[in-house]
Amino acid sequence: MIANKCHPRIAARFLTRRIIDGRDATWKRCLTGSLAEEPKGPVVKTEIPGPRSRHLFQELNSLQQASSVQFFADYEKSAGNYIVDVDGNSLLDVYMQISSMPLGYNHPAMLHALANPVNQKIIANRPALGVFPGKDWPGKLKNVLLRNDVAPPSLSHITTMMCGSCSNENAFKNIFIWYADQQRHGAPFTKEEIESCMINQSPGSPKYSIMSFKGAFHGRTLGSLSTTHSKYIHKLDVPAFDWPIASFPQYKYPLEENVRENQEEDKRCLAEIEELFEKSRKEKKVPVAGVIIEPIQAEGGDNHASPEFFQQLQRIIKKNGAALLIDEVQTGGGPTGKMWCHEHFNLPSPPDVVTFSKKMQMGGYYHVPDLKPKQSYRVFNTWMGDPSKLILLEAIVDIIAKEHLLDRVTKVGNYTLQELRNLEKEFSTSINSIRGRGTFIAFNGSTQERRDDIIKKLLAKGIQAGGCGVNAIRMRPALTFTEKHADIFLDALRSILKQ
């Protein structure tokens, strides 16, 4: 006899039931029927972290380095735009797992996808995609990652990976392989190249470089870390490549009052990029094969650059025969009001590579056809992505389209930015430099200490926010964030600034 109500332990046991005629309605009902409703507002019962979080921290810290942990969450009780911790505090989450939760917590569409028996078998039988992909894999790539409202315009090739760091790391390999093939004019590998690469010597291991930018964050694997320049703790004690590092524009705000100064900043940075190309080629004898850049420098402080800057950057890169890699790991998936932030820049041609992860659930990169390696196993690992994450992404992009969430992001983002500018006028000695696209929003505290204090007091009021750069507070809400949620955040911020 089957229970009518689904206790979590009973629901777990239902998973093991034999599926009859390809369906198990009981399991589906248990999975979707016990969802928590989104709270009407934050509820703070204890200090944060509370006693249960502190106890769990001691347990975890005895097993691994855990000092980055802020609190322990109860993901069964979390819902929508609210994360619930193990002490029963319900927090409005405008940070969303570092920008990686597009629909918030426990969205019914995602849970429903996981209840599908076909999808359960995909999850249970995770393939080595590079050698044994499932029969539906080409179709899934076409119908999810390469559908017209998902893929970056005019990019028709895709390589799936696990995370943002390994996406950038392997994209570097694609760029180097393509660049080397250009240098040998498509000729086959020589005996000298084959033998020398095995002992990390040229010509088989050529000296090429990837140009990056001050303030950038592209990951923590060795190649990606060499292009990361946001915080010393990421890089200290780890060997790095001596690759060129250019200045990213540092704008003055409000933008409309500093047009001339910011245009001059664009020119200064672009001239420096031209100079670095020349110096790398002629003086260092290590030509730049590619340039990696974020459309908005996220970890580095939510630093923006103009569409004109990106257009001129692409022109310089093409002139020097290199590839443009736009890192959309944090900006991809809709938070700027477009699926891809670089769509705001009106580039004359698509970037050569666009990397993604976070809101896209899996890692990977789109690229132009020329960057597809000619030989197998050149870019390869055991899993090459994860079909289970594509199941979730399919549900996500269907909801984005069905509920017009990108339009909502634009509308709510404009509302939030305007209200923050009003607060800046009232409390200019505490916050400044309001900036953002869509709900990908940040503002500065007047000092680092003021920034840290605001974030701490927001948490005490039931708002989970994040910091970045030296003194920036960043918002990374779900695409389901509304004006109602924005008002809760803004009211809490106003009360803190009044103090």
Q: Which amino acid is at 99?
A: S
Torsion angle (degrees, nearest 10) of CA 67, 72, 78, 82: -50
Contact status, residue 205 vs residue 286, Cβ threshold 8 Å: no
Question: Who's near 411: CB < 8 A, 6+ residues apart?
Answer: 483
CA distance 310 to 174: 22
Q: Which of 327, 356, 443, 481 is catalytic?
A: 327
Catalytic entry in 252, 382, 447, 487: 382
Contact 218, 168 (CB under 8 A): yes
Is residue 71 part of the annotated active site? The answer reads no
Catalytic residue among 172, 213, 217, 443: 217
User: CB of 288 within 8 A of CB of 276?
Assistant: yes
The amino acid present at 33, given as its one-letter code, is G
Choose the catalytic residue: 24, 213, 227, 358.
358
3-state SS string over 460-480?
A: HCCEECEEECCCEEEECCCCC
Catalytic residue check, 93:
no
Question: How deeply is 325 buried, as exposed, middle or buried, from its count of CB atoms within 10 A (0-12, 13-18, 19+)?
Answer: buried
End-to-end, the C-alpha distance of the chain in Å comes to 60
Q: What is the rounded distance in angstroms from the CA atom of residue 146 to the CA atom of residue 140?
A: 9
The sign of the CA dihedral 439, 474, 429, 231 is negative
Helices 108-115/387-402 angle, 10° precision? 140
Q: Is 358 a catalytic residue?
A: yes
427 tagged catalytic: no
Report the alpha-carbon distance of residue 439 to residue 435 in Å, rounded.
10
Active site residues: 217, 327, 358, 382
